[in-house]
Chains A and B, each alone.
Chain A
Amino acid sequence: MSDGAPEVTSGGMGGTTGSGAALPEPALELDCRGLPCPRPVIELARHLGDVAPGEVLAVVAEDPAARADVPAWARMRAQEYLGEDVAVDGVARYLVRRRD
C-alpha cells in the first residue's frame, strides 16, 4: 500500500471542538479530516500514548467507517469509548478515554 495521504496534524486542546453536551473536553484532538479508512483509527493508535491514562483523546474524521471503527478499536484495545459529537465545522468527532 502506498500511503500518499496527508499527515495527521495534532490539534491543540479544544482547538476545533464543538457542542458536545455531556462529553468531556479532550486533552488532545486529532484532525483526520479527509483521511481515508482506516487512517483515523491508525492515528488514534499512534497518538494514544500522547495523553495520560484517564485523559481523553479525540479524533475528528469524515471517514464514515470511523463511526463503527473507533468504538470497535476501543473495545479491541481495552480503551473506553465515550461517544461522538461534532466539531465546529460539523464534522464528526469521536472521543476515547485512555485506560492504561
Chain B
Amino acid sequence: MQDQTDPAPASTPASTPASAPVLLDAAAGRPLHPAALEVLDAALARGWADPRALHRAGRDARLLLENAREVVAGSLGVRRDEVRFTSPVDAVQRGLLGLARARLDAGARDLVLAPVEHAHVRHAASWWAQVHGGSVHEAPVGRDGRVDLDALERLARAPGTAAVALQLANHEIGTTQPVGAVALPESVDLFVDGSASLGLLDLPREGWAAAAGHATSWGGPGGVGVLLVRHGARWLNPFPGDPGPQDAGGALPDAPLALAAAAALRGTLAERAGVDARRRRLVDRIRATAATLPDVDLVGDPDDRLPHLLTFSCLYLPGDALVRELDRHGFAVASGSACTASTLEPSHVLAAVGALTHGNVRVSLAPEVTDDDVERLCHVLPDVVARLRAEVGL
C-alpha cells in the first residue's frame, strides 16, 4: 500500500488526494448503507438466537428474520416465501443447481450460460456437469458483452438441457442481459444471477425460476446473499439436506445481518432515482474522458449497463501499475488484468468480449462520489496514462 503523503507531481496540481480515497471500487465492496448501520446494533442485541428455537430469544430472532424477508420481498417484487438468506456464493450455486437438480431424474444434465457469467456461476455449472456427466454450453456474446439470444435459446432447446443461467448485468463491464426476454422450452427454467445488480437494476417480474443476489450490490453486509426461488418452481436442493428451499444455505441464516441487508436494500431503493441518475451521468463523463485517450479500449455497453460502472483498458500498461498510480492520487479502482489476479489469468469476461485484458481499469462509483471527485479523476487520468506509457517507451 502507498503512504498517505501528498504524492501529486508538479504536472498535476489539481490532483491533491482527499483525506479519504474516492471509492471507485464500490462493486467489490463499500461501507454499510446508513440504514443498515441504524438497525444493526439493536438487531445484534435482539436477534442472536437460533430462529427455530421455541423460547423467547428464538422467537425474537425469527421475528427479525421474517421482517427482513418481508422487506426484501417487497423491495424486489417477489413473495415473502420466495426469499431465503444464505451466503452470496451459496445463493448462486443453490439457485442454479437447484433448477438443474429438479431435471436430473428426467435425464437432463447439461447447462447453458453466457461466457461472461461470474466465476461462481461458471464453476458451479462445470462442477455439476462433471459430477453428473453432463456438459456446459456457452452461447456467444457480442463485443458489448450481450448474449446472442437466438443462440442461447437454440442451446436451451437441446434435449439434454436442464437449466439456463444468465446474469442481470455484468460485474466487470456493466452490460445488461435481456433476462426478461429469454424464450425457453416448457421443461427448461432460467436462473438469473443478480449478484452485481440487485438494488441497482430491477429483476423482471416474470420469466425466471430462481435468482441470486449479494447484499454488497446494495450496501448491505458483504456476507449476506439472497436466494430467490419462485413459488411452485421446479427446484430441488442440489446439496445434502432437505429437498426444499427452506433448507437453503444448509445453515441458519444470520438474522441480524439479514435485517441489516434488508434495511440497506430499502434505503438504497428509496434513494435510487436521484443517486443513479447522477452516477449514470458521471460514468458518461469518465467514459468521454477515457475515449479521448490514445489506445484505450472502452468495454461494455455505453447505455444499457449498470448505472455506476465503467471498464476500459489501456494498451501497453500493466493493470497493477494503473491501480497503484490512481491509488496514489486518492482513487480506489479495480482491475481485471492478469497481473492483479491471484491466478495470473486475465479476466474471462474481458477475454470473452474480445477486449484488451491488460491495462484494465474498472471504475464503480459509490453512491457518495461527487461531481468534484469525478472531475478530479478526469483531470488526473490522462497524465497517469501518459506517464506510465512514457515509462514503457510507447
Work out how many contacts link A and B, with CB atoms closer than 8 A: 70
Chain A min CB distance to B344 (Å)? 7
- A67–B338 alpha-carbon span in the complex (Å): 12
Nearest neighbor of B297 in chain A, beta-carbon distance: A76
Q: Pick out which of these stretches binds chain A: B20-28, B223-231, B354-362.
A: B354-362
Chain A min CB distance to B250 (Å)? 35
Does B392 have its Cβ within 8 Å of any Cβ on chain A?
yes
Chain A min CB distance to B115 (Å)? 12
Asked if A37 and B356 make an inter-chain contact with CB atoms under 8 angstroms apart, the answer reads no
Most-contacted residue by chain A among B337, B345, B356, B358 (CB, 10 A): B358
Does B321 have its Cβ within 8 Å of any Cβ on chain A?
yes
Number of interface residues of B (CB under 8 A): 27
Q: Is the interface of A mostly helix, strand, loop or mixed?
A: helix
> Please, which residues of chain B bring their CB within 8 A of the CB of A46?
393-394
Asked if A72 and B337 make an inter-chain contact with CB atoms under 8 angstroms apart, the answer reads no
> Please, which residues of chain A bring their CB within 8 A of the CB of B351?
67-68
Asked if B344 and A41 make an inter-chain contact with CB atoms under 8 angstroms apart, the answer reads no
Asked if A38 and B354 make an inter-chain contact with CB atoms under 8 angstroms apart, the answer reads no
Residues of A69-88 whose CB lies within 8 A of B: 69, 71-73, 75-77
- A75–B356 alpha-carbon span in the complex (Å): 10
Q: How large is the interface on A (under 10, 10 to 19, 20 to 34, 35 or more residues)?
A: 20 to 34
Does A21 have its Cβ within 8 Å of any Cβ on chain B?
no
Asked if B316 and A42 make an inter-chain contact with CB atoms under 8 angstroms apart, the answer reads yes
- A63–B339 alpha-carbon span in the complex (Å): 10
Contact with A along B54-90 (1 / 0, CB 8 A): 0000000000000000000000000000000000000
Does A11 have its Cβ within 8 Å of any Cβ on chain B?
no
8 A-B residue pairings within 8 Å (CB atoms): A1-B388, A1-B391, A38-B318, A42-B316, A64-B345, A68-B350, A68-B354, A76-B356
